[in-house]
Amino acid sequence: MSGLVQTPDWIALDWGGSHLRAWAVVGGRPVAHVASDAGTGALDRDAFGPALTALVQDWLTEKRCIPAFACGMLGSRQGWVEAPYRTVPCAPLGGGLVAAPQTDPRLQVYVLPGLKQPRPADVMRGEETQIAGFLALNPGWDGVICLPGTHSKWVHVSAGEVVSFQTFLTGETFALLSGQSVLRHGMDGWDDAGFDDGLAQGLDRPDRLLSRLFTLRAEGLLDGLDPATARARLSGLLVGAELAAAKPYWLGQRVAVLGAGDLAALYARALDGLSVPVSAHTAEAATLAGLAAARAAHTKEATCAR
């Protein structure tokens, strides 16, 4: 991390449960990026300010207060400051920003609210910003956005609004089963054919998930199932079960997958195999575009001149 030639116009923050990412933005472009593992899950309320200052220290100046726009779990009840959910159907961004307590006179953080859906009950924090960014980068886009990850989201977008969405515990279940269950003994690496095999099984019979999980263990013991195949097949089983249950979202729709490179590519390939018109996009670009849209809409309110 080093000092910038120019003080940033504003700072973009993606502050999730297990990560903190920051970009210095000058003239509409990110000119520097820093990250740490100071996720909201690891911080007490009064540790947020110091953690942020420590990370972006070199970008700050005594001359003025720089605004920062932040999305993610820092706006949850257990986060830095609660930014109450907005209710769908609604545009992914549209007010409700909450100013965090100012702990450093050189910095003022504004937190974007998440979205909630009353029935079936569902929530998101952070993804709404990615969706807004994706729509800013692709004006007029209608369809379904899939955001794979710890808590995968499927989102129906129409006329610039989030109409409905559904969350799946896919990534977290994979992490727990591959890392902490009895399955961990025979899991290491990755094998594309194993993923495809699990995907087909999961799509075909998502109801058999709990028994197919133990089959992985038994094949390891009896047939010497390769650990890379086992791990990839577990992922395929879970993603297949997710895709089967998300069929009302993707059937007859075009789908944009927003995610980290490998995972987005995996989902895009799986959807392509189902003859779904699909495109894969980097989540980071969408996050930045969404935070920029929030900042553009709040240049007047969100100032912090000293």
Binding stretches for its own copies (CB under 8 A): 77, 85, 116-118, 120-123, 151, 166-170, 172-173, 176-177, 180-183, 206-211, 213-215, 217-219, 221-223, 238, 241-242, 244-246
Given the complex with its own copies, which of 116 and 254 has the nearer CB atom? 116
Dist CA 266 CA 224 (whole Å): 26
Given the complex with its own copies, which of 190 and 214 has the nearer CB atom? 214
Given the complex with its own copies, which of 36 and 215 has the nearer CB atom? 215
Sheet containing 152-158: which strands, arranged edge to edge?
A: 161-168, 152-158, 143-147, 255-259, 278-282
Q: Report in angstroms how near the CB of residue 218 gets to its own copies at its nearest.
A: 4
Dist CA 298 CA 239 (whole Å): 38
Q: Report in angstroms how near the CB of residue 242 gets to its own copies at its nearest.
A: 5
Given the complex with its own copies, which of 31 and 209 has the nearer CB atom? 209
Q: Report in angstroms how near the CB of residue 110 gets to its own copies at its nearest.
A: 22
Characterize the bridge pairing of strands 255-259 and 20-26. unpaired
Given the complex with its own copies, which of 104 and 191 has the nearer CB atom? 191
Given the complex with its own copies, which of 64 and 184 has the nearer CB atom? 184
Dist CA 132 CA 94 (whole Å): 10
Dist CA 45 CA 256 (whole Å): 35
Dist CA 142 CA 239 (whole Å): 24
Q: Report in angstroms how near the CB of residue 73 gets to its own copies at its nearest.
A: 10
- Give one word for 159, left, alpha or beta, with left for phi > 0 and alpha for psi -120 to 50: left
Among candidate residues 278, 216, 280, 235, the one with its CA nearest the CA of residue 253? 278
Residues 6+ apart with CB under 8 A from 183: 177, 213, 216, 217, 230, 234
Q: Report in angstroms how near the CB of residue 281 gets to its own copies at its nearest.
A: 23
Q: Measured in Å, how far apart are the chain's first and last C-alpha atoms?
A: 26
